[in-house]
A and B are shown apart, each in its own frame.
Chain A
Amino acid sequence: MNLSLQDPFAVAKEYPETLASTLHYGHSVVIQFNHKGDYLASGLSDGSILIYDLISNGGVIAHLAEDSHTRPVTSISWSKCGRFILSSSQDWSCKLWDLSKVNSDEDDVELELENSSAMIRTVKFDGPIWSASMHPQDHFNNEEEEEEEENNRKRKKVEKHVTLVTTFTPNDGSYIFTGTSKGWLNITKTDTLELVHSIKMANSNIKNLVISSNGRKLAVNSSDRIIRQVNMPDLINITDPDEWEFETDHKYQDVVNRLQWNSVAFNHNAEFLVASSYGQSSHDLYIWETSMGSLIKILEGSNEELIDVKWNYSRCTIGSTGLDSGMIYLWSVPFVQKWSALAPDFVEIEENIEYDEKEDEFDIIDEDALTKKRLEEEDMDVDVITKETVDARGFDITQQSFVIPINYEKSLLG
């Protein structure tokens, strides 16, 4: 999508408004956008993972079905570069995928010699895995460690709490936040695996734990039907964990229907929070503005309960999965065709304008003189090389993201 030539008012919108498209290959249970926002990974109930290209209207780029999970996928995490995917499943395992190995040509001799499976690592656990996340920076080195951490946490099951959700702190990944079945928030240092801080957030189990990508806000979704929005302490400058304060900023709840929330997500700067609601009768997504805590938008359009919800920052799109059909719903900002774009001298005006003939409007000008004047005006220097570093929404566009290879000879889905 080119933003610089679009209606600036549409570009400036901060949250999606209308259901733009649906994707339906297989029964999707969990979704995740890559960091650049051009691919969408969808975990299916049969354990495989589909990857869609969002630029081509949701064309399927890859299907990770070989060596895949045998039970439904529970979480997907992309590496920052976009080449690796970490998935977790109810089949008690986590798998690491290398997308450079998908869709390889079968007659490519070089690839046949090495292991050609895109699944490059798998770790077995002694219980179903609810979530696995990649370390934000050091994904390759920390991979297994991270999964073992997950393992450690699972072992605590024997004790009285059951850890349900985990997440890394964004940017540096130096801490791991976990939520337990008794409503406690535990913070562990990533390198030493030491528990450094523990605080009770709610009286019932924590279902989701989401830290905004700028690290400012934390959303705790627990089964007491309340989403608690917490201001994050300065984890980098305040080194003593005992001084951290987790102050609840807002509590979001549906007072009338007493709905539970299935899943929550922040936008890029944590100014907005979106949540999907539990129950057969509710089919909508709720968006709140986080500074005042007011509900500003209800996203409609699905005919079923929505489970997972994710925010695609750079494309200003919200994706969600349907419980019954397994469809993926995508809401985004609509752009309309401007008819004034169809000819260089068309202008869109609000009111009629009185035509005023200019003094020289129909003068016959000597063409040669005009051409000469034009050529003389062309003496300034042009920079044809330097690219823009941010797009019209202010996102960094300099970072290169991995491009998933394509098998041109075979159709993926028959």
Chain B
Amino acid sequence: MPSEANDSSNGIHISKKIDDLYTVKYTLQNQHKASINSIKISPDGSKFATCSSDATIHVYDLKTGSRIAELAGHTKGISDIVFSPINSNILASCSDDLTIRLWSIRQRKCIKILKKHTYHITTIRFSSKGNILISGSADETITIWDITSGRTLKTLAAHADPVSSICLTPDNSIIISASYDGLMRLFDLETGHCLKTLSFNSTSHGTATASTNDVLNFPISNVESSPNGKYILSSSLDGLIRLWDYMDNKVIKTYSGLDGKPISEKYNCGAKFITKTANPMIVSGTESSGIVIWDVQSKDVKYQLHQSDEPVFQVDTFDEGNYIVSCSRDGYINLLELNPSYVKSSREGSSREFTPITPN
């Protein structure tokens, strides 16, 4: 990034911030013995779960923040967790111990262990019908599991470096994967075929496949599909977040960090869309600036929650962004609630009618 471009835009950033966009409902500290790697809200909005490098999963009541379960069984750090989209009692986790575990929260026990990967499993996702689980691993493959039978449907030799993140389009037809090799690939969930490959080159004539050293693709740390499945949000370790039109192979928006600081150069800090507000926004964790929210269209920073200079590892949203949870390396968990005065007035196109938490 050219420094003068950043400096000039910073002045605008600050003036456009909305300080009361979100309010912090509560903050939890020192819940795990090591860094918290991921945080997810259950599909019914009743609880959220965190996973940590201390090999445990904690489940909390979203409303009160009190811990309701601790799930132990993994032997190494847990990188990612995901709730079943059709059953908030079921949680899946993936770990450096090469296993994926399925947990019943009510019974506080592991009900299934899936083993296939040969190196650390970095990321997992459910399809929206809850019967297919997709995992990405540092063994450079993506595995598609049929949960009802416990069998693998397909293993995709996806990348030339560890897979860092995967996501599904809302219609469940495309798996989008991101890797440290700097590529994003789109796979058809059913056939397992690669449909498209995207990469961002800073130089005008660079090619993704060139063997020359001067072509450097920064690792992609996180991918997220837009709510309509037409765009991809990618976080790259060059410190920027980009919005892609994948049909057109084009970056259409670039979001940069506050005060010229990179968003993240080392970690997957997560990124989610917020559509509860009148204008759609993007929320992401950052390496040293806490949680940052951008306006999708203007790319301006609208909100920042800066508690410490430690990196925020994951953010998750519920009810189109009405609630945001975050977790950080130094063990902070935050619940943020959207200020009701910024909720968009017409509720058309919304899929949820209820809010689990009554605003105080």
Give the number of chain B interface residues (Cβ < 8 Å): 72
Tell me if B34 is interfacial: C-beta within 8 Å of chain A.
no
Which among B106, B172, B194 has the greatest number of chain A C-beta atoms within 10 A? B194
The answer to whether A384 touches B227 (Cβ under 8 A) is yes
Tell me if B341 is interfacial: C-beta within 8 Å of chain A.
no
Tell me if B72 is interfacial: C-beta within 8 Å of chain A.
no
With A2-B173, A61-B148 known to touch, is A372 a contact of B227 (CB < 8 Å)? no
Q: In the complex, A59 Cα to B1 Cα: how many Å?
A: 49
CB of B331 to closest CB in A, whole Å: 30
Q: In the complex, A227 Cα to B149 Cα: how many Å?
A: 42
Chain B stretch 170-203: residues in CB contact (< 8 A) with chain A: 170-174, 186, 188-191, 193-199, 202-203
Q: In the complex, A56 Cα to B127 Cα: how many Å?
A: 10
The answer to whether B170 touches A382 (Cβ under 8 A) is no
The answer to whether B5 touches A371 (Cβ under 8 A) is yes
Segment among B14-22, B25-33, B44-52, B248-256 that sits at the interface with chain A: B248-256
The answer to whether A4 touches B172 (Cβ under 8 A) is no
CB of B19 to closest CB in A, whole Å: 25
Tell me if A57 is interfacial: C-beta within 8 Å of chain B.
yes
Return the contact of B197 from the options A3, A59, A342 (Cβ within 8 A). A342
Tell me if A9 is interfacial: C-beta within 8 Å of chain B.
no
The answer to whether A411 touches B174 (Cβ under 8 A) is no
The answer to whether B229 touches A387 (Cβ under 8 A) is yes
Which among A1, A55, A56, A388 has the greatest number of chain B C-beta atoms within 10 A? A56
Query: Which residues of B sit under 8 angstroms from A351, Cβ to Cβ?
Result: none
The answer to whether B195 touches A6 (Cβ under 8 A) is yes
Return the contact of B228 from the options A4, A362, A386 (Cβ within 8 A). A386
The answer to whether B171 touches A397 (Cβ under 8 A) is yes
Name the prevailing secondary structure of the B interface residues.
Answer: loop
Return the contact of B174 from the options A5, A368, A397 (Cβ within 8 A). A5
Segment among B59-67, B73-81, B84-92, B310-318 that sits at the interface with chain A: B84-92
Tell me if A66 is interfacial: C-beta within 8 Å of chain B.
no
Query: Which residues of A sit under 8 angstroms from B186, Cβ to Cβ?
Result: 5, 341
Residue of A nearest to B151 (CB): A59
Query: Which residues of A sit under 8 angstroms from B194, Cβ to Cβ?
Result: 337, 341-342
The answer to whether B1 touches A384 (Cβ under 8 A) is no
Query: Which residues of B sit under 8 angstroms from A345, Cβ to Cβ?
Result: 207-209
CB of B7 to closest CB in A, whole Å: 13
Return the contact of A403 from the options B89, B129, B149, B249 (Cβ within 8 A). B129
Query: Which residues of B sit under 8 angstroms from A381, Cβ to Cβ?
Result: 297
Tell me if A348 is interfacial: C-beta within 8 Å of chain B.
no
Tell me if B299 is interfacial: C-beta within 8 Å of chain A.
yes
CB of A93 to closest CB in B, whole Å: 29
The answer to whether A59 touches B146 (Cβ under 8 A) is yes
Residue of A nearest to B109 (CB): A409
Interface string of A379-396 (1 = CB under 8 A from B): 011111111100000000
Q: In the complex, A408 Cα to B247 Cα: how many Å?
A: 36
The answer to whether B202 touches A408 (Cβ under 8 A) is no
Tell me if A60 is interfacial: C-beta within 8 Å of chain B.
yes
With A6-B195, A107-B107 known to touch, is A387 a contact of B228 (CB < 8 Å)? yes
With A385-B228, A408-B102 known to touch, is A2 a contact of B195 (CB < 8 Å)? yes
Return the contact of B131 from the options A5, A6, A53, A338 (Cβ within 8 A). A53
Chain A stretch 360-381: residues in CB contact (< 8 A) with chain B: 361-362, 365, 367-368, 370-372, 374-375, 378, 380-381
The answer to whether A408 touches B90 (Cβ under 8 A) is yes
Tell me if B104 is interfacial: C-beta within 8 Å of chain A.
yes
The answer to whether A59 touches B195 (Cβ under 8 A) is no
Residue of A nearest to B154 (CB): A57
Tell me if A335 is interfacial: C-beta within 8 Å of chain B.
yes
Which among A4, A6, A382, A404 has the greatest number of chain B C-beta atoms within 10 A? A382
Tell me if A298 is interfacial: C-beta within 8 Å of chain B.
no
The answer to whether A378 touches B252 (Cβ under 8 A) is yes
The answer to whether A406 touches B2 (Cβ under 8 A) is no
The answer to whether B174 touches A384 (Cβ under 8 A) is no
Chain A stretch 23-78: residues in CB contact (< 8 A) with chain B: 38, 53, 55-57, 59-61
Query: Which residues of A sit under 8 angstroms from B191, Cβ to Cβ?
Result: 1, 335, 337
CB of B139 to closest CB in A, whole Å: 19
CB of A387 to closest CB in B, whole Å: 4
Return the contact of B202 from the options A371, A397, A403 (Cβ within 8 A). A371
Closest 4 CB pairs of A and B: A2-B173, A384-B226, A5-B195, A368-B2
Can you list 9 A-B pairs, Cβ within 8 angstroms, ordered by A? Answer: A53-B131, A55-B189, A59-B149, A61-B131, A381-B297, A382-B297, A384-B280, A405-B130, A411-B148
* Chain B positions near chain A (C-beta within 8 angstroms): 1-2, 5, 84, 86-87, 89-90, 102, 104, 106-107, 111-112, 127-132, 146-150, 153, 169-174, 186, 188-191, 193-199, 202-205, 207-209, 226-231, 243, 245, 247, 249, 251-254, 273, 275, 280, 296-297, 299, 349
**Given A5-B188, A341-B193, A341-B196, 4 additional A-B pairs, CB 8 A:** A4-B247, A387-B228, A388-B228, A408-B111
